[in-house]
Amino acid sequence: MKKAIIFGVTGQDGSYLADFLLKKKYSVHGIKRKSSSFNTERVNHIFEKKNFYLHYGDVTDSSTVQNLINLIKPDEIYNLAAQSHVAVSFKIPEYTANTVALGSLRILEAIRSSNLRKKIKFYQAGSSEMFGKVQQIPQTEKTPFYPRSPYAVSKVFAHWITINYREAYKIFACNGILFNHESPRRGETFVTRKISLALSKIKLGLQRKLLVGNLNAKRDWGHAKDYVEAQWLILQQKKPNDYVISTGENHSVKEFIDLSAKFLNIKLRWKGKGIKTKAYDQKGNCIIECSKKYYRPTEVDTLLGSSLKAKKDLNWKPKIKFNQLVKEMVNSDYMNLKKNYVKKKR
């Protein structure tokens, strides 16, 4: 039985990856950090599974990282742990660098200094945010990076330290450069989930207005379920390598809103430009407004990836299309809210 460690198991990707690896008959060791409130909601459904283990740990704490690796002796390590919110990284840059950049280094150092250096395969969760102010369209493994936030700069460090440990110490260390991927388990402050939740609440009369930032930003949005499969495939190759994982199409935040509204049968009428853009429902109520609060000091305007290398080497391509993704997110939020709301009313 193969053993895997997932740093960041309580996050969106960590939980889907744990589901995926358990189905592949792995013994899965998830690392969760200490929190004063419950942070295991996304893995509660596998909590009691025979081959699933949860350990306390934190990527800012090198001795625990080292102890866990020496204790578990994994075949594969997935480093998904991060302060992963781009806007928040401008507010807490040092903490972001500590988790995102140094967190990766701590895990790599623990692998290097253990006697399992030749056995362990390491996956680093890289990001399309590293392309930032894009130097080429579409972005590939060869496109130069131009990071635009403390988060993205930290991911660039993590990317290169992974390559450095591969070359210097022959560790099987790989980077996935993943474009945005979403799901019903997406954190509620990322734009897609913020939209699916808010419009569902507006439809049910539980919220009046949605406040957003830059409506024109474009992202290459895929489904997290497809993307965790790519993470695993990257570690199953004969040689360690780096891969862009993307859908090859992008859409604006405004398009995401329009499609979500369509699935909820809300008819939107847009008015105004830039920060003054507003959207009204069929009754003439203003239900969407822009706020400077959600703009970033330096924005990434557009991202679009090419996954030709992943298709060729990993035989990977995304199965879930943009329309299906939006529909699944909106349906999930609407149905859950409706269930809870009706329960409360009773």
Structure tokens at 89: 């990284």
Work out what residue 219 binds among ligand GDD, ligand NAP, none; the CB cut-off runs from 5 to 8 Å by kind: ligand GDD
> Which one of residues 96, 104, 127, 260 is an interface residue with ligand NAP (CB under 6 A)?
127
Q: Are 29 and 78 in contact (CB under 8 A)?
A: no
Burial class (CB in 10 A: 0-12, 13-18, 19+), 173: buried
Tell me whether the omega of the peptide bond preceding residue 138 falls within 30 degrees of 0, making it cis: yes
Using alpha carbons, list the distances in angstroms from residue 216 to 247, 252, 262, 264, 324: 19, 5, 19, 22, 21
Supply the DSSP symbol for 101.
Answer: I
Burial class (CB in 10 A: 0-12, 13-18, 19+), 292: exposed
For residue 213, state whether it binds ligand GDD (rule: CB under 6 A): yes
For residue 196, state whether it binds ligand NAP (rule: CB under 6 A): no
For residue 299, state whether it binds ligand GDD (rule: CB under 6 A): yes
> Which one of residues 29, 42, 166, 194 is an interface residue with ligand GDD (CB under 6 A)?
194
Q: Which of residues 229-258 bind ligand GDD (CB under 6 A)?
A: 253
Q: Which of residues 4-43 bind ligand NAP (CB under 6 A)?
A: 7-8, 10-14, 33, 35, 39
Pairing of β 76-79 and β 121-127: parallel
Distance of CA 69 to the CA centre of its chain: 24
Supply the minimum distance, in Å, between the C-beta of residue 197 and ligand GDD.
12
**Of 59, 68, 126, 65, the residue nearest 98 (C-alpha):** 59
For residue 187, state whether it binds ligand NAP (rule: CB under 6 A): yes
> Which one of residues 9, 120, 212, 244 is an interface residue with ligand GDD (CB under 6 A)?
212
For residue 320, state whether it binds ligand NAP (rule: CB under 6 A): no
Residues of the shown chain interacting with ligand GDD in the complex, contacts defined by CB under 6 A? 84, 86-87, 127-129, 179-180, 189-191, 194, 212-214, 217, 219, 253, 294, 296, 299-300, 303
Residues of the shown chain interacting with ligand NAP in the complex, contacts defined by CB under 6 A? 7-8, 10-14, 33, 35, 39, 58-60, 80-84, 99, 125, 127, 178, 180-181, 187
